[in-house]
A and B are shown apart, each in its own frame.
Chain A
Amino acid sequence: DTGVSQDPRHKITKRGQNVTFRCDPISEHNRLYWYRQTLGQGPEFLTYFQNEAQLEKSRLLSDRFSAERPKGSFSTLEIQRTEQGDSAMYLCASSIGQRSYEQYFGPGTRLTVT
């Protein structure tokens, strides 16, 4: 499968625990985006990287959230001290070069905080 992949696909955690998600973009895609989608809503932008540089962060990304893309390939999104309001689908997308506006999404990680 040459598409965007995310791991895990589902995560159930207890409130207060830390969780980490991984996204592997399409090979050679230099841009990587994180979005959050709650039931019945469109995806909301969280942050994006160009190569290893984090270029923009949404105000939605509180200090409990951190994202990294250390080698410009895969990315991780960590949520510390999870809250029930963090329950959502976390989507990753990637794009490349001159067609960087075409974002291709992964299957998402569904987080449930109990």
Chain B
Amino acid sequence: GENVEQHPSTLSVQEGDSAVIKCTYSDSASNYFPWYKQELGKRPQLIIDIRSNVGEKKDQRIAVTLNKTAKHFSLHITETQPEDSAVYFCAASMLAGGTSYGKLTFGQGTILTVHP
């Protein structure tokens, strides 16, 4: 089955700096890669996703890049703010014809702390 590795496990940055979180996956059939943000005691929230037919996607201060050959993808947060502090999870799944086969395989998570 799919295996997703996520690094680093913790990341501490100063407000205004950039943060990068990296994930690798094992199953070359995976073609959908979402990122979730989970604040303490709250539900995971989808913040951005990318499908394997594109190499990069951006939404304001957040961007995700994908390297299918190397089987890794990354989350980039620019101009970090204290409210970005949370646990971030990457995940991988397989879509066929736009329909999900269902399950997401998550990475272990990265605790991001943004210091004011």
Question: 8 Å CB contacts to B: which residues of A84-114?
Answer: 91, 95, 98, 100-108
Chain B 79-100 interface 0/1 with A at a Cβ cutoff of 8 Å (1 = within) = 0000000000101010100111
Q: Which of A16-45 contact B (CB under 8 A)?
A: 31, 33, 35, 40-45
Please give, as numbers and ranges, the residues of chain A lying within 8 Å of B98 by CB-CB distance: 98
Closest CB of chain A to B55's CB: distance in Å? 18
Question: How many A-B contacts if CB must be within 8 Å?
Answer: 62
A48 within 8 A of B: yes
**Cβ–Cβ contact B105 & A101, under 8 A:** no
Residues of B98-115 contacting chain A, CB below 8 A: 98-100, 102-109
Tell whether, in the assembled complex, residue B104 and residue A43 are in contact, meaning their CB atoms are under 8 Å apart. Answer: yes
Q: Is B61 interfacial (CB-CB < 8 Å)? A: no
Consensus secondary structure, chain B interface: strand
| Stretch from B13-21, B37-45, B67-75 at the A interface | B37-45
A95 to B53, CA, bound (A): 22
In the bound complex, residues from chain A placing their C-beta under 8 Å from that of B46 are 102-104
**Which residues of chain B (28-78) have a CB below 8 Å from chain A?**
32, 34, 36, 42-46, 49
Contact of B106 among A4, A44, A100, A106 (CB under 8 A): A44
Query: A100 vs B97: C-alpha distance in the bound complex, in angstroms?
Result: 11
- A56 and B102 within 8 A (CB): yes
Q: Choose among B4, B44, B93, B109 the residue that contacts A101 (Cβ–Cβ < 8 A).
A: B93
**Residue numbers in A under 8 Å from B93 (CB-CB):** 101
- Assuming the A-B contacts A48-B102, A100-B99, A103-B104, are A42 and B43 also in contact, with contact meaning beta carbons closer than 8 angstroms in the complex? no
Given A104-B46, A105-B43, check contact A42 B100 (CB 8 Å).
Answer: no
Asked whether, in the complex, the Cβ of B108 is within 8 Å of the Cβ of A107, the reply is no
Known contacts A91-B44, A107-B42; is-contact A42 B102 (Cβ 8 Å): no
Contacts known (A101-B95, A101-B100); A43 close to B45, Cβ less than 8 A: no
How far is it, in angstroms, between the C-alpha of A43 and the C-alpha of B42 when the chains are bound?
Answer: 13
Query: Top 8 nearest A-B pairs by Cβ distance?
Result: A42-B106, A45-B103, A101-B100, A105-B43, A48-B102, A100-B100, A105-B44, A42-B89
